[in-house]
Amino acid sequence: MTQIWTHGVWTVKPGHEEDFVAAWQAMARDALREFQPSAGPRLLQDQERSNVFRSFAAWDDPEQVDRFRDFVEPRLQGIRELTEDIEVLTLDDVPLDG
């Protein structure tokens, strides 16, 4: 069975990067206490555009992703105030061996 990945692209209002990171980390810690993702959440910051971040986490089934998204939705309010744009994706793992 392949994993399901959640991926977010977060474009943060310039000057709010540190506040965003702190808010995202708090949300991720809350989610980790509630869920057991296959691969824990990761937040990456673009080297050339320091206000652009990408987040990833791996999950075992679509129901777990749905429960996770419902859980974090109310926690996103503060993060939305720090961002210009949020793109949320759900991706399927494509194995290297076909």
C-beta atoms surrounding 53 within 10 Å: 21
pLDDT in tens, 48-89: 999 999 999 999 889 999 999 999 999 898 999 999 999 999
- How many CA atoms lie less than 13 Å away from 63 in the CB half-sphere? 0
pLDDT in tens, 35-47: 877 778 999 999 9
CA distance 29 to 23: 10
pLDDT band at 94 (very low <50, low <70, confident <90, very high): confident
For the cut 60, the answer to whether the pLDDT of residue 1 exceeds it is: no
Q: What is the pLDDT of residue 98?
A: 60
CA distance 68 to 21: 19
Question: What domains lie within the chain, and their CATH numbers?
Answer: 4-92 (3.30.70.100)
Q: What is the pTM of this model?
A: 0.89
